[in-house]
Amino acid sequence: MEPLALALIRNKGGEWILVSTAMCLAMLVTACSGAAGSIMGGTNGQGDDGNPPGDDGNPPGDDGSPPGDNGSPPRDDASGGDANDALTLLFHSGFEPNTTVVNTSTAVGDLIGEDISVTPPNNWIDDLQSDPYVHSFRLYYGDGSGDASTRGVELVPDPQNFANQVLRFWILQPNDGVGTKGRIQADCWSDPGGFRNLHYSVRLYLPGDDFTAIINLARAVSWFTLMEFWNHSPPAPESFRVTVDLEKPVTHFGVLRFGVRSESYDASASTYNRITSHVNTSFVVPVDKWMTLEINLAEGDETTGRFYMAVTPEGEERVIVFDEILRTYHPDLVPNGMHYFQPMKLYTYDWLIDDLRNQGKLTQVYWDDFAIYTGD
């Protein structure tokens, strides 16, 4: 093992602390970064006809109250802006020490503490959950049909760098829908206001041993949700969602792709109707390699709504995976902002979880370096 270089720095409370020079450099970079990366054009996708089962296990949504007016309308053009656009950092964390996962009930947990590896706003309670945009946050482990032996959220060493601490979602047994599916998610609520223009970034790691087993499955995978955004969420009759999935479109050995879909709830039929669906067929999702995901969701209709996603695999160039103009709210509603979203999520079939477990594998993903902004 190489010797670890250390440095003394002063935290915001005036105390001197000992950190690695790598962490010190990361703090300097974070402090100098006041805006997200550039948002620019480009799209590459195709339709997808795979429909996941209805999502009736989500926590209750908002009460439909109008969002607060911050005096600045959402951006409604197709360009998405550029690096000169002013983004406001609401919160960021690298899940480092001083951050803790706490379980508040069988099915609910929380992240607390202040991540001293980054500059403020970096406190999970005082900053994130006191922000006018994100008034509440929780970790949700499904409807209670599982326990700590069957699924969990943990702060663990980075599989590729033990000096780095990261967030891990894992499911051993289907734990939601009375054992018909598996779910772990980070829930964010924004009431009474709502995001008109949400930006965030997060790093994602897919363990190669587990995801190679998925790649080798003799069936297609179209439902492996990594993040989801709601205009209204269940039980509201006007529910509308935009969902990002990891997909394997073929029924034999293949590669992993990113897909995005939008769906509107039909209360009369108690089902979601697919509005748009895209699968990027040119970008191969890497395994055993960290990648940074940049997300922008702008509220709008078929001509003004937008979903943007860029991916930067570690050591590689940034790739625009999606830049789609699409509706982001229910057609029966006057737009009132995104009130509920899951920036980090693991939600998939029971058979996939069972198949991996029977092979001695695990359904799991890792997250790091979460930052959330508003462009309103």
What does the pLDDT read at residue 85? 58
Residues 13 and 92 in one domain: no
* Of residues 275, 247, 278, the one with CA closest to residue 260: 278
Mean pLDDT by 10 residues, the chain (376 residues): 40 40 40 35 34 41 29 31 66 96 93 96 94 90 83 97 98 90 95 86 99 95 97 80 96 93 90 94 98 97 96 98 94 83 98 98 99 86
ω into residue 59 within 30 of 0, thus cis? Answer: no
Residues 149 and 1 in one domain: no
* Of residues 198, 258, 174, 230, the one with CA closest to residue 58: 230
Residues 19 and 136 in one domain: no
- Give the total number of structural domains in the chain: 2
What does the pLDDT read at residue 183? 96
Residues 5 and 132 in one domain: no
What does the pLDDT read at residue 177? 84
Residues 6 and 143 in one domain: no
* Whole-prediction pTM: 0.79
Structural domain range at position 23 = 1-33
**Cα distance between residue 166 and residue 158, in whole Å:** 6
**Cα distance between residue 191 and residue 224, in whole Å:** 28
* Of residues 76, 85, 47, the one with CA closest to residue 305: 76
Residues 24 and 56 in one domain: no
Residues 241 and 300 in one domain: yes
